[in-house]
Amino acid sequence: MRYELHYWPDIQGRGEFIRLALEDAGADYVDVARRPRGAATLERLLRSRSVARAPFAAPFLRAGKQVIGQTANILLFLGPRLRLAPKRETDRLWVHQLQLTIADWLGEAHDTHHPVAGSLHYEQQKHEAKRRAANFIGERLPKFLDYFETVLRRNPGGYLLGKRVCYADLSLFQMVEGLRYAFPRAMARLERGYPRVMALHDRAALRPRLATYLASSRRIPFNQQGIFRRYPELDPV
């Protein structure tokens, strides 16, 4: 099965959580919008009147005739197929629950620079962004890190499920990457308190296929159009 990933070609964004799973699994996939005219295909599919079950937004995945939207839902579908989720329903739901918690965390990280509206520029909501980012760094970031540190402590082995990797581990790796990009000062202060989360990040980065991907041109660098953005005034000393 060759999967087709449809996501905006110039940012990591939400699509990156899917890319990491596909890459770590060595899956056969095409990142459609990064090919010539691929972004037009993405927009056409989003607006098509012929798709009975069109997604609300990108990313979405085409797998044969199926079109699947919502990042966590795509990973729910891919998980067992890529051997990045256990087979038992109980375990699959647990991994999905962790993924949805990461999705909430990611949404809050996004809203630090866009607390008023995604359709306005950062400069138009800078005042609000400062307040929201201060709350994110002071309260929410430690709360989410605490949670994942606790999960790792209670399920020893190095990954969220213990010894076996799952797609939520790759997503947690990406959260640490993104948070280090966006909030280098806050992360430098906080990281020592969460040794298991940071060890998971480092362990994931050494996975052979993931390391190859991260060093390749397929990995889009973080930038100021993505979900994680670095505005020094949102990450004070």
Among positions 166-225, residues that touch a copy of itself (CB under 8 A) are none
Q: Applying CB under 8 A, does 84 fall inside the site for a copy of itself?
A: no
73 binds a copy of itself (CB under 8 A): yes
Stretch that binds a copy of itself, among 5-13, 28-36, 108-116, 172-180 (CB under 8 A): 108-116
- 159 bridge partner residues: 162
Per-position DSSP letters for 23-91, written without gaps between them:
HHTT--EEEGGGSTTHHHHHHHHHH-SS-TT--SSS-EEEETTEEEESHHHHHHHHHHHTT-S-SSHHH
Instruction: List phi, psi (to 5°) of 221.
Output: -65, 150
Q: Whole-number minimum distance, CB 26 to a copy of itself, in Å?
A: 23
Would you call 92 helix, strand, or coil by DSSP? Answer: helix
| Amino acid letter, 221 | P
To a copy of itself, the closest distance from the beta carbon of 211 in angstroms equals 29
Residues 134-153 that bind a copy of itself (CB under 8 A): 135, 139, 144, 147, 150-151
Query: Distance of CA 126 to CAs 118, 119, 234, Å?
Result: 13, 14, 9
Instruction: For a copy of itself, give the closer residue by CB, 136 or 173.
Output: 136
User: If binding is defined by CB under 8 A, does position 76 make contact with a copy of itself?
Assistant: yes
Does 125 participate in binding a copy of itself (rule CB under 8 A)?
A: yes
Q: Is 114 helix (H, G, I), strand (E, B) or coil?
A: coil
- Tell me the window of 15-23, 48-56, 200-208, 222-230 that interacts with a copy of itself (CB under 8 A): 48-56
Query: Which helix (H) or strand (E) covers residue 5, if one does?
Result: strand 3-6
- Strands (E) across 73-198 are located at none
List binders of a copy of itself among 14-43 (CB under 8 A): none
The reply on whether position 72 binds a copy of itself by CB under 8 A is yes
Residues contributing to the site for a copy of itself (CB under 8 A): 51-56, 66, 68-70, 72-73, 76-77, 89-90, 93-94, 96-97, 100-101, 104, 107, 111, 115-117, 119-120, 125, 128, 131-132, 135, 139, 144, 147, 150-151, 154-155
